[in-house]
Amino acid sequence: MKYRTMGKLGIQTSAFGLGCMRFNGAASGDSVIDEQKAISLIRKAIDGGVTYLDTAYVYLNKTSETVLGKALRDGYRDKVTIATKMPFEAVYDRASMEALLKEELEKLQTDHIDFYLMHGINREKWEGFKAIGAPAFFDDMKKAGRIRYKCFSFHGPYDQFEYILNDWDWDMVQIQYNFMDINNQAGTRGLELAGGKGIPVVIMEGLLGGRLAKAPDNVQALYDAFPVKRSAVEWAFRWLCNHPEVSVVLSGCNEKEQIEENLRIFDTVAPGIMGAEELKLMDDVRAAYLSRTKIGCTGCRYCMPCPNGVNIPGVFSAWNQVSLYNTDPKTDWGFSQIKRNDHGADKCIACGACEAACPQHLNIIDGLQRAWGELNAD
């Protein structure tokens, strides 16, 4: 296992951090956790050198923290740092924040949390957290030793990331990042902004929830043609760890073979390890994925609101995602939300208001019909 220094905090961490969100098939919607299996996976990772464990109050129907707490008995707690999170939806004042933290400490069977994150905030939630006094609460808990570092995790657009990062003296940030998301969410700009301030960056969704682990034919052909053979997973993690700003790469593993492979990979990675040819390979791989883009919708939402209730950018995003990563539409979260909220393309009456507003001049009406047909095909 390779270890890294966490920016201005100056502490050492394993480059591989175990995510505790995906045990026992949770990725495919099975929320019943197999406790014994999860505990043995967690301990296997720690025995292999992992020192960073990531969980959250809400993961696995609120059972993830409990299972992690059990796994860290028998001396394991002293070997690791724990990151867990406060969801904005669960708190509304100081007393509710105190109650939530107390519950989390009890579930984790510990007297302190190392990295305490405001969970998945955007600008609106950050303003909400400020309005209920969360920054003062985090500062007080830090002074009291109940948390060591005040942090946030983030999935919003770059401008909001920049605002939030510059608005408080954060100790660490957790962002979604991988070789496909260089211009998405916080992206490379966000990574470098945090790195420039010495704020350690923890990466989530490094394999896009597993989608980058299964290379489609055109991507596999590029990997196969490269002189050094590595799995798709290894290329993805190697690319991430090549960035000096990255402190920890989280990965949520469901199987012991995945832990074993990731332990092996994270024994070989280091900042600046990739030469020009390897970096070009990853650029080509990204282009190969993007060549499967179905429609050039940028999600600007100029077409919205649709007078008939179609979530136009949502349908196009699901269409592109399913095509890019060769996944089953039934497992696409965005597509399932559109169907559940009845915002599908079957509501389109071809009025054309969207096409008149689209700055990309897309054939939206035709695109919606094709997207809906392909997403709903058996």
Closest approach of ligand NAP to the CB of residue 354, in Å: 31
Q: Which is nearer to ligand NAP, 72 or 297 (CB)?
A: 72
The SS3 of residue 85 is strand
Secondary structure (H, E, C), 290-328: HCCCCCCCCCCCCCCCCCCCCCHHHHHHHHHHHHHHCCC
Q: Which is nearer to ligand NAP, 7 or 210 (CB)?
A: 210
CB count within 10 Å of CB 337 equals 13
Secondary structure (H, E, C), 19-65: ECCCHHHHHHCCCCCCHHHHHHHHHHHHHCCCCEEECCCCHHHHCHH
Give the dihedral sign, CA 130/133/136/139: negative
Give the H or E element holding residue 150: strand 147-154
Closest approach of ligand NAP to the CB of residue 211, in Å: 8
Q: Which is nearer to ligand NAP, 255 or 366 (CB)?
A: 255
CA dist 307 → 310, 312, 348, 352, 373 (Å): 8, 11, 9, 10, 21
Shortest Cβ contact with ligand NAP: which residue? 19
Q: Which is nearer to ligand NAP, 104 or 368 (CB)?
A: 104
Closest approach of ligand NAP to the CB of residue 233, in Å: 4
How far is residue 223's CA from residue 364's CA, in Å, rounded to a whole number? Answer: 35
How far is residue 151's CA from residue 6's CA, in Å, rounded to a whole number? Answer: 13
Residue whose structure tokens are 């949502």: 314
Q: Which is nearer to ligand NAP, 27 or 365 (CB)?
A: 27
Both ends of the chain: CA-CA distance in Å?
44
Parallel, antiparallel or unpaired: strands 3-5 and 12-14: antiparallel
Give me the phi and psi of 175, to 5 degrees please.
-130, 155
Closest approach of ligand NAP to the CB of residue 301, in Å: 22
Q: Which is nearer to ligand NAP, 9 or 27 (CB)?
A: 27
Binding site for ligand NAP (CB under 6 A): 19-22, 27, 54, 119-120, 153, 155, 174, 204-210, 213, 233, 250-254, 258, 261-262
Closest approach of ligand NAP to the CB of residue 248, in Å: 10
Closest approach of ligand NAP to the CB of residue 360, in Å: 29
Q: Which is nearer to ligand NAP, 29 or 309 (CB)?
A: 29
Closest approach of ligand NAP to the CB of residue 170, in Å: 14
